[in-house]
Amino acid sequence: MSTRTSSGTTRTTLGFALITAATLALTACAGGEPTTVPAGASGAPGAAKGTLPTEDVVSGVRKNEAAAKLLPADVRQRGSFTIASSVATPPSSAYLADGRTVVGVDADFAGAVAKALGLELEREVVGFEAILPALGSGKYDVGTGNFGVTEERRKTIDFVTYINDGQGFATRADSPLKAVTDLTRLCGLKVATGAGTTFERTLEQHKGRCAEAGKPPYEVNVFSETGAVWMSLQQGRSDVVMNTINGLRYAVTRQKNVKFLNEYRRLDVGFAFKKGTPLAPAFQAAVNGLKADGTYDRILRKWGVTASGIARSQITPPELPAPKK
């Protein structure tokens, strides 16, 4: 049964939380073969002491009156906003050992913005692929899922940026594969990635490069769960993983026999909204206010992603240029 909750907790079914927490354990496994564990067990993502940072960087945020004044009247009146959150892998998002509490970069920024705007945050955990369509239908006010700003998404979605992440590659430690600076380096290999992501789109768009180079095509193995992506790599069913830069760097420190290869491209990441949303100016002002009061940098330091900092929040900026190779 789903329930509405206040800021900082998750509105979801227990069954979904248990399944997702178990799946996510694959990405947070500290060593050896990936294992699946029930929510609340010591092997769950972030459950082991010290696995996930616990510093509170949100509760001390003060209301930003100037930003709050930019909110639409109906939102100010109801005093809350709904957020659809995809929970994939740290440091972007993860569950604590209870299988319910969502933490990570996305959660901290959402919570801090809610505090700055004087609003309650009502979160529902939703599958990554379902969030953007749900925003378009008006089911939720905002979505988080490490959503990169792309020209395709800009046609139907507005963004308020808060970090810069992007696309990268990882593989098994014994792989001869070197840095993937050109997608033709993937020719003849099996590439594991997430469904509905910019990674899947990039790989599918450029499949023809291998034929142009006179090489066998690469195969794209698409999975709905991040844990399944890593399982396919560990079991040898895939040769390389394409995922977020921050997610890859985090995952390879918590799994044996895997290595980070390289960054491929950078993308701005932001809160996602229905196109034309009146919420964007308030969210942008709130993020920039967090930069001014130091909360922004505290969140980045907490999750070890200071390299993902941006100079200022923007509303639906152009997609950052892709590599020409």
10-11 and 80-85 strand pairing = unpaired
Q: Taking the model in full, what pTM does it have?
A: 0.82
How confident is residue 325, by pLDDT bands cut at 50, 70 and 90?
low
Residues contacting residue 1 through CB under 8 Å, at least 6 positions apart: 13
Please give the pLDDT value at position 309.
97
**pLDDT tens column, 139-166:** 999 999 999 999 999 999 999 999 999 9
- pLDDT (tens digit, 9 = 90+) per residue, 251-270? 998 888 999 999 999 999 99
- What pLDDT, on a 0 to 100 scale, did the predictor assign at position 155? 96
Q: How many C-beta atoms lie closer than 10 Å to residue 80's C-beta?
A: 15
> Do 104 and 162 form a contact (C-beta atoms < 8 A)?
no
Q: What amino acid occupies position 240?
A: V
Q: Give the tens place of pLDDT for each residue, 160-218.
A: 999 999 999 999 999 999 999 999 999 999 999 999 899 999 999 999 999 999 999 99
Whole-angstrom Cα Rg for the chain: 19
Q: Write phi, then psi, for 20 (nearest 5 degrees).
A: -70, -40
Predicted confidence at residue 122, as pLDDT, reads: 97
Comparing C-alpha atoms, which of 125, 130, 133, 165 is closest to residue 149?
A: 165
Mean pLDDT, residues 20-25: 35
On average, the pLDDT of the chain sits at 85
Strand 120-125, strand 80-85: pairing: parallel
The region of weakest confidence among 47-51, 132-136, 248-252, 315-319 is 47-51
Task: Pick the closest to residue 100 from 24, 164, 28 (CA basis).
Answer: 24
Q: Where are the alpha helices (DSSP H) in 118-177?
A: 128-136, 151-154
| Per-residue pLDDT at 20 | 34
Measured distance CA(65)–CA(101) in Å, rounded: 29
Average pLDDT estimate for 293-301: 98
Is residue 137 exposed (0-12), middle (13-18) or buried (19+ Cβ within 10 Å)? exposed
Q: Is the pLDDT of residue 231 over 50?
A: yes
Can you list the pairs that 229-235 forms with residues at least 24 positions away whose Cβ atoms lie under 8 Å?
A: 229/192, 229/193, 229/194, 230/26, 230/27, 230/34, 230/192, 230/255, 230/258, 231/26, 231/34, 232/192, 233/170, 233/171, 233/172, 233/192, 233/258, 234/33, 234/34, 234/172, 234/258
pLDDT of residue 244: 95
CA distance 82 to 64: 19
pLDDT of residue 51: 76
Report the range of poorest mean pLDDT among 227-231, 277-281, 294-298, 321-325. Answer: 321-325
3-state SS class at 157: strand
Average pLDDT, stretch 45-50?
Answer: 37
